[in-house]
């Protein structure tokens, strides 16, 4: 017959805490179960990092090479060759913009319109792309497509996402058109718009001098805050 348990001994055994596995033991067990997967994951991350930085380095070297080729293009023929070799690249759009400006300066307005359109199709949204749109609007007007050009200018002048200097130039072009056509009310409207956008710009100074030649009745609108203060003399009869 077995002897009864010693009550004092049982109480002592129950009170003694069970030792928790040490960190080394836990890590060993974890590594035994998951070591292969951890190594594979780290390797994948490392490969991804190398790929990203490798691509960035490669892209930078490519862009640098394209930039050097662009800088070396001076004549229209060289710019056209550059565009053909780097179709879709932003610098190809800039090269197309240069060709358009050259055509406009030479009075080849129809060619300028085509070149500006091509530049707009390549350049991203932003100041340079807007600059191409502005050039295209002016070229259309010079090529006898005044309605199209004026509509494009209105879009630029009222587009709050564009920079104020570019909107001011578009407003000045609209003012100049209205002034030349004798549309005095429209001229005043565009002048006020210009003064709001860039009151100290060269465009505002030109508009101020031209606006002074309008009949007094056309310039009787309230002064625009921030606009240059001008004195309008009656037009001699």
Q: Which of 95, 103, 175 is nearest to 142 (CA)?
A: 103
Asked if 175 contacts 190 with a C-beta cutoff of 8 angstroms, the reply is: yes
Give the pLDDT score at 196.
Answer: 94
The predicted structure's pLDDT at residue 35:
52
Q: Where are the domains of the chain?
A: 36-72, 74-162, 165-219
pLDDT at 111: 96
204, 194 Cβ separation under 8 angstroms:
yes
Report the C-alpha gap between 2 and 9 in whole angstroms.
Answer: 16
What pLDDT, on a 0 to 100 scale, did the predictor assign at position 227? 47
pLDDT at residue number 67? 83
Q: What does the pLDDT read at residue 73? A: 85
Residues of the chain with pLDDT under 50: 1-5, 7-12, 14-15, 38-62, 221-225, 227-237
Whole-model pTM?
0.64
Task: Give the pair of three-digit tokens for residue 235.
Answer: 């037009």
Q: Provide the sign of the torsion angle of the four alpha carbons 23, 24, 27, 32, taken in this order.
A: negative
For the structural domain made of 74-162, what CATH number should be given?
Answer: 1.25.40
């Amino acid at each position: 017959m077995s002897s009864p348990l010693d009550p004092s001994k049982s109480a002592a055994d129950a009170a003694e805490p069970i030792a928790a596995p040490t960190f080394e033991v836990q890590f060993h067990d974890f590594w035994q179960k998951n070591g292969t997967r951890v190594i594979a994951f780290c390797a994948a991350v490392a490969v991804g990092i190398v790929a990203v930085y490798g691509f960035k380095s490669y892209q930078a070297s490519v862009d640098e090479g394209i930039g050097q080729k662009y800088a070396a293009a001076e004549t229209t023929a060289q710019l056209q060759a550059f565009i053909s070799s780097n179709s879709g690249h932003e610098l190809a759009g800039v090269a197309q913009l240069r060709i358009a400006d050259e055509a406009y300066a030479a009075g080849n307005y129809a060619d300028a319109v085509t070149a500006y359109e091509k530049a707009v199709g390549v350049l991203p949204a932003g100041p340079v792309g807007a600059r191409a749109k502005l050039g295209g609007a002016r070229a259309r007007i010079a090529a006898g497509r005044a309605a199209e050009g004026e509509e494009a200018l209105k879009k630029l002048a009222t587009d709050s996402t564009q920079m104020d200097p570019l909107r001011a130039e578009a407003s000045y072009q609209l003012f100049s058109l209205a002034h030349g056509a004798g549309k005095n009310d429209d001229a005043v409207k565009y002048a006020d718009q210009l003064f709001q956008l860039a009151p100290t710009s060269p465009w505002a100074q030109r508009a101020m001098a031209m606006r002074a030649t309008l009949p007094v009745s056309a310039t009787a609108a309230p002064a625009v805050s921030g606009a240059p203060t001008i004195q309008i003399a009656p037009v001699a009869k």
